[in-house]
Structure 1
């Protein structure tokens, strides 16, 4: 997903902090390969995505995000999420919420699931945990946790490294890592170059993946 964690977003700084006032924002993105927790959701093919977010000054937020996917046949992923994000006086940011991953296609009607998540950030370091509380295809109990660190080597540039581990109830565990280099082009959006690799991934190959992406928020 786009949050990041959100991947999304992952991908995302993954912690959303409250805005100065209530606002609605939108985002669009294009990528050569939709990676989520180290696994391609598009059979190593391209994806187009978009979403809408509402954030209140008190820290509460709601959002939705969608992308094409390909797990053998082309379909759509729809994410709906909400939570609360804020920062303590000492600079520790936190983000707690719930997200549902919905796959409307008949081919994937049993793939829907819902997670509770907690993300923390302090300076350039962040991390989080997500726990599956409901799933159509299997019992709840899957656990995903991750850690990330980033820095800005120059104005409008950001480099980050992320490692994560997926702990499944049915012993399909795997780990992954990735490095992202992002260039902000102002009104022209953000361009990201990603190198990612998973270890013993039961859902994808273990080959090194190189991805280029573009995104823009409004």
Structure 2
């Protein structure tokens, strides 16, 4: 990350007033937010997920006219087993009424140590009565991806947030497996329930893909693994 990012982060961290989950300040006409989790609505469901056990966080600047931009690091790359990843985004958000609004934007996925892995995604969506529905299209030479995203907000019976993501991936070059078999496309999805508990964020997630067996060698999707997996994650914020 560049020097302005680190400098701005340090200034906010040294400020005396903080909130329980994020730090907010006013910078001129902009609202500034520093948080350990993504703060954007549509971008929150579409940026690359944080690696388990990694240090992650980001900054966000928004203007009253609806324009916003920010940077989120799913992984700071502070350990030998992790890679520095930065998701830079910019967008525009407006509300028609208190219960209906829309949002459009672009995300630049970067890995400074692996520039060949960089790519862009266009996204957009609607907010409706506390729920969010969106989609994104990512066109890179290796993997053309279309993603649908839905966050239904807090479900009263479970007292937890529910998030669904479904993606279709079209490989730029078919992947050869087994005895001459090929994989040129695949689907994957994830379901997640989230709720806070005594200062800890609890996430219960199920993920899977259409690939099985040796086909998983071609996997490069939205989940951490190709096979069916249930994950229980507990995270405590530093502030």
Please tell me the TM-score bracket, short chain as reference: 0.5 to 0.7
- Structure with the greater relative contact order (CA < 8 A, sep ≥ 6): 1 or 2? 1
For 1:40 and 1:84, the matched residues in 2 are separated by 22
Contact 2:34 2:60 in 1 (8 A): yes
For 2:210 and 2:76, the matched residues in 1 are separated by 22
Equivalent residue, structure 1, for 2:164:
162
Equivalent residue, structure 1, for 2:188:
175
Bigger Cα Rg: 2
What's the offset of the Cα at 1:132?
2.1
What's the offset of the Cα at 1:103?
0.3
Aligned CA distance change for structure 1 residues 41 and 153 (closer, same or farther; 3 Å): closer
Mapped pair 1:194 → 2:204: yes
For 2:238 and 2:127, the matched residues in 1 are separated by 22
For 1:87 and 1:26, the matched residues in 2 are separated by 23
What are structure 2's unaligned runs of at least 5 residues? 1-28, 38-44, 173-183, 212-218
TM-score (norm 1): 0.68
Mapped pair 1:116 → 2:122: yes
TM-score (norm 2): 0.62
1:79 aligned to which of 80, 87, 94: 87
Q: How many residues align?
A: 178
What are structure 1's unaligned runs of at least 5 residues? 1-20, 30-35
Could you say which structure has the higher helix fraction? 2
What value does the CA root-mean-square deviation take over the aligned residues? 3.2
